[in-house]
Amino acid sequence: MTAFEAGADAGGAVRITDTDAAGRGVGRTADGLVVFVPGLIPGDLALITVERRRKRFAAASVKRLVEPSRDRALPLCPQFGCCGGCSLQNMRYAAQARLKERQTREKLLRIGGVRDPLIRPVVTMDDPWHYRNKARYATDGANVGFYAAGSRAVVDAPDCPIQAPPANALAGVLRRFVAFRRQAGAGDFVRGLTVRTAFGTGEVMASLSVCGARARSCGAERLFPAMDAALSALPRAKNGPPYRLKSLVVESDAESGAVFVAAGRGAITERLWDLRFELSPRSFFQVNPAGARALGDLVAAYAAPRRTETIFDLYCGAGALGLRCARAAGRVVGVESAASAVADARRNAARNGIKNADFICGPVERALPALLAREKPQTVILDPPRAGCRAELLAAVAVAAPARIVCVSCDPATLARDVKCLAAAGYAFAEATPVDMFPHTTHVETAALLCRANARGECAGPR
């Protein structure tokens, strides 16, 4: 007996009521079986075919769309449904935002145990297209694009509508290059291309991933003129600077992962708020600059920094959130396990003249106890990876008794789990605000504020 019972059977008509993390429509058959159906959105009524069945749920496919949802939209991308990137392009943008806000609320209620959680309206993007400042393309020697969902097959993507124009332009240069080499019968040594665009300055970095043996001698610098010309031909973004290729680097796909500067500089500069950030090939930076600005403003409002107070920024990455708060705070201490990110954070503090921010390199779970032995924060910012925080870390934070904890999460389910853990340690959920950092996908970023609880288990500070 396999995990799934294989073989198609009629599932009847199903009304879709939700989507899962993969963007599949979720509904129930007449006999109560939960079904997951790719291509459907909430409000759709469809005849389905059950493809694989378990005891309580099944994977299904669409046989016929009987009644389309009023929230249906025509996908802008011709690769929609093939590429593994976007899964909600067939839903109106306003409906996507409502869905993410509702799912955030439901997870805090169901998983986090928060009664009547205060969820502020989701922060949406003025323009939900061409918002990504980083694109990672794969190539198989014939196509340049993105992996198909659940596969390593490369789907050619000549004009991805969520990528910044420089990414599409430079992918076109690589597409012509691999086609030329294929026609010439030359070897295939390029594995991929990563393009970073600094929206605030117009500076662009191209990173070629090549097979290890060819990393230093691949001649990548010969692509610089063609890439530079492709960017020069692009119109300016509205109220934005012209695009300029400032960096072409080569990354080895060997285990060493060495990085070489082929032409230009080894980093580009981004401007966000009144700060300037240096972005190296492996720097972590939010992929949506408009969303990053909104998220940072939210975190600063929740953290409410004061000149007499210390803020701990845990899992700080390149320090963007802590540096956003630093000028209004007494002191900011960031902790991050990635050495390259800590180096970026220190450089970013120095280049912005911020002298009250320190950054510690090490696993947060190990570094925090020693840090707490020296000083106690009034505010803690938690911005962990998607898996959330470990229980022992949350316990250590609670013992330090900061007045405020600001949680930032890209997964409402793990956010809700962490909120529940902090509630057991004496903290009450005050409010949360989702930020639609990733339009046309199921992902959402959320900032939440927790305060020390009073005797009734409510937030001791103003809600």
Distances (CA, A) of 295 to 1, 103, 133, 316, 406: 48, 19, 16, 14, 12
Closest by Cα among 144, 131, 197 to 173? 144
Closest by Cα among 160, 165, 169, 237 to 440? 160
Residue at 172: amino acid letter: G
Write down the catalytic residue from 160, 407, 410, 451: 410
Angle at the Cα of 269 from the Cα atoms of 263 and 273, rounded to 5 degrees: 170
Tracing tokens 């997951």 back to the chain, one arrives at 36
Say if CB 133 and CB 198 are below 8 A apart: yes
Helix (H) or strand (E) run with residue 394 in it = helix 391-400
Closest by Cα among 52, 59, 54, 55 to 14? 59
Q: How many C-beta neighbours within 10 Å does residue 302 have?
A: 24
Residue at 457: amino acid letter: G
Distance CA 293, CA 277 (A): 13
Q: How many C-beta neighbours within 10 Å does residue 331 have?
A: 18
Closest by Cα among 129, 212, 141, 175 to 436? 129
Distance CA 351, CA 274 (A): 12
Distance CA 226, CA 219 (A): 13
410 in active site: yes
Q: How many CA atoms lie within 13 A of 41 on its CB side?
A: 23
Say if CB 398 and CB 425 are below 8 A apart: yes
Q: How many CA atoms lie within 13 A of 426 on its CB side?
A: 13
Helix (H) or strand (E) run with residue 173 in it = helix 165-183
Q: Helix (H, G, I), strand (E, B), or coil: what is residue 328?
A: coil
Distance CA 207, CA 333 (A): 31
Q: How many C-beta neighbours within 10 Å does residue 93 have?
A: 19
Tracing tokens 């986090």 back to the chain, one arrives at 112
Tracing tokens 């009450």 back to the chain, one arrives at 428
Determine the angle formed by the axes of helices 412-424 and 391-400, rounding to 10 degrees: 50
Active site residues: 410
